[in-house]
């Protein structure tokens, strides 16, 4: 039962619960009228203490398309956090006004804390460099829809693997699927955190860490590019030195399999050249669209508008 549940980390849902959301998302995509109005009279609070375009807009679009409404803020400066209100108090308030809360916060662990103070479901839309489970649902749905399966795949992650929360969540989630090999491509200073690596070791996942993108291209079924997370750096000089380490362009893409897909949670900065946007392997804009469908499926489920799982 997904009704009433919070989503803080990708493992909060079982594989069959995620599968249920993916098929619901597919039904929604195929039939625009499906589930329309099912959240009429329901309210979603979107509390964004950090910038966002896709995540916030796709949640709002999802809620509005299901007949519900949204309230909230897009920057902490316009909320009472600016007056020093604690997160616990802000959450208690939002939970008394709305039927569910979507929150993005720069602090790791903020979503877990919020879920403890809220008596309505809390969805983590990113907590610092930690997790971003609805981006993971988006990424998994995209892989499933475009490659037809989530097993027996070689997935490359490239860029800022240290601070990139979407990488942490997706690697953890993929470790639950069979025969996924992961290749982590980053500069030495931006390698995957040890706590994620130990999860992969525990789950017996085959993985490698490398610095070379070009030499890895031909092996990959999925390439997950990420931006260097400027806002999490302590020092601007380090950011400037590392930001353009990897740029995916036509030359590099020509080394890839014909059926490989390039994903990116977006926003991109320089790491994917716009020249490859029209290549059939560039799937990042489709991915953003799947994000709205899977968020519709998630909201309809946790708010109890659909039966099942
Ligand atoms: C990501 C995030 O916020 O972690 N963006 C998103 O939600 N699509 C990736 C990023 O900001 O680099």
The finding on whether 10 has its CB within 6 A of some atom of ligand 1 is no
Distance 266 CA to ligand 1 centre (A): 6
| pLDDT for 196 | 97
Q: Which two tokens stand for residue 117?
A: 């103070």
Distance 264 CA to ligand 1 centre (A): 9
Do the Cβ atoms of 292 and 299 come closer than 8 Å? no
Distance 163 CA to ligand 1 centre (A): 11
Contacts of 168 (CB under 8 A, 6+ apart): 129, 130, 131, 192, 193, 196
Rg (CA), the chain: 19
The finding on whether 291 has its CB within 6 A of some atom of ligand 1 is no
Distance 250 CA to ligand 1 centre (A): 24
Per-residue pLDDT of the chain (309 residues; tens, 9 = 90+): 999 999 999 999 999 999 999 999 999 999 988 999 999 999 999 999 998 988 999 999 999 999 999 999 998 887 788 788 899 999 999 999 999 999 999 999 999 999 999 999 999 999 999 999 999 999 999 999 999 999 999 999 999 999 999 999 999 999 999 999 999 999 999 999 999 999 999 999 999 999 999 999 999 999 999 999 999 998 999 999 999 899 999 999 999 999 999 999 999 999 999 999 999 999 999 999 999 999 999 999 999 999 876
Distance 277 CA to ligand 1 centre (A): 19
Q: What is the DSSP letter of 272?
A: B
The finding on whether 81 has its CB within 6 A of some atom of ligand 1 is no
Distance 308 CA to ligand 1 centre (A): 30
Can you say how many angstroms the Cα of residue 92 is from the centroid of all Cα atoms in its chain? Answer: 25
Please name every residue paired with 181 in a beta bridge, in sequence order, or none if there are none.
154
Do the Cβ atoms of 247 and 208 come closer than 8 Å? no
- Nearest atom (ligand 1) to Cα of 50: 3
User: What are the structural domains of the chain?
Assistant: 10-131+291-302 (3.40.50.1370), 133-288 (3.40.50.1370)
The finding on whether 134 has its CB within 6 A of some atom of ligand 1 is no
The finding on whether 156 has its CB within 6 A of some atom of ligand 1 is no
Report how far residue 146's alpha carbon sits from residue 162's, in angstroms, rounded to the nearest whole number: 27
- Nearest atom (ligand 1) to Cα of 166: 4
| pLDDT for 76 | 80
Q: Identify which of 166, 224, 225 to mutate to test ligand 1's pocket (most ligand atoms within 8 A of the CB).
A: 166
- Nearest atom (ligand 1) to Cα of 288: 8
The finding on whether 168 has its CB within 6 A of some atom of ligand 1 is no
Report whether the peptide linkage leading into residue 267 is cis, meaning its omega lies within 30 degrees of zero: yes
Distance 227 CA to ligand 1 centre (A): 9
The finding on whether 105 has its CB within 6 A of some atom of ligand 1 is no
Q: Map residue 282 onto helix, strand or coil.
A: strand
Within 10 angstroms of residue 230's Cβ, the number of other Cβ atoms is 15
**pTM of the prediction?**
0.96
User: First vs last Cα of the chain: how many Å apart?
Assistant: 5
Report how far residue 178's alpha carbon sits from residue 155's, in angstroms, rounded to the nearest whole number: 13
- Nearest atom (ligand 1) to Cα of 265: 8
């Amino acid at each position: 039962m997904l009704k009433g549940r919070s989503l803080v980390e990708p493992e909060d849902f079982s594989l069959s619960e995620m599968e249920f959301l993916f098929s619901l998302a597919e039904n929604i995509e195929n039939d625009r009228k499906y589930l329309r109005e099912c959240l009429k009279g329901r309210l979603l609070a979107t509390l964004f203490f950090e910038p966002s375009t896709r995540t916030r807009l796709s949640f709002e679009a999802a809620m509005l398309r299901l007949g519900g409404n949204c309230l909230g803020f897009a920057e902490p400066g316009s909320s009472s956090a600016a007056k020093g209100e604690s997160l616990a108090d802000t959450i208690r308030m939002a939970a008394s006004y709305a039927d569910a809360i979507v929150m993005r916060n720069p602090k790791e662990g903020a979503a877990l804390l919020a879920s403890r103070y809220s008596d309505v479901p809390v969805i983590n839309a990113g907590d610092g460099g930690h997790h971003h489970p609805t981006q993971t649902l988006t990424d998994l749905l995209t892989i499933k829809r475009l490659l037809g399966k989530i097993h027996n795949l070689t997935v490359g992650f490239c860029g800022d693997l240290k601070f990139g929360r979407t990488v942490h969540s997706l690697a953890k989630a993929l470790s639950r699927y069979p025969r996924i090999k992961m290749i982590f491509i980053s500069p030495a200073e931006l390698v995957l955190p040890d706590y994620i690596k130990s999860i992969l070791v525990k789950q017996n996942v085959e993985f490698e860490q490398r610095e070379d993108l070009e030499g890895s291209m031909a092996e990959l079924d999925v390439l997950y590019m990420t931006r260097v997370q400027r806002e999490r750096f302590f020092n601007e000089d380090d950011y400037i030195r590392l930001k353009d380490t990897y740029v995916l362009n036509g030359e590099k893409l020509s080394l890839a399999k014909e059926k490989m897909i390039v994903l990116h949670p977006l926003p991109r900065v320089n790491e994917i050249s716009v020249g490859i946007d029209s290549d059939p392997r560039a799937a990042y804009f489709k991915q953003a669209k799947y994000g709205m469908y899977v968020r519709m499926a998630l909201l309809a489920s946790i708010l109890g508008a659909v039966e099942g799982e």
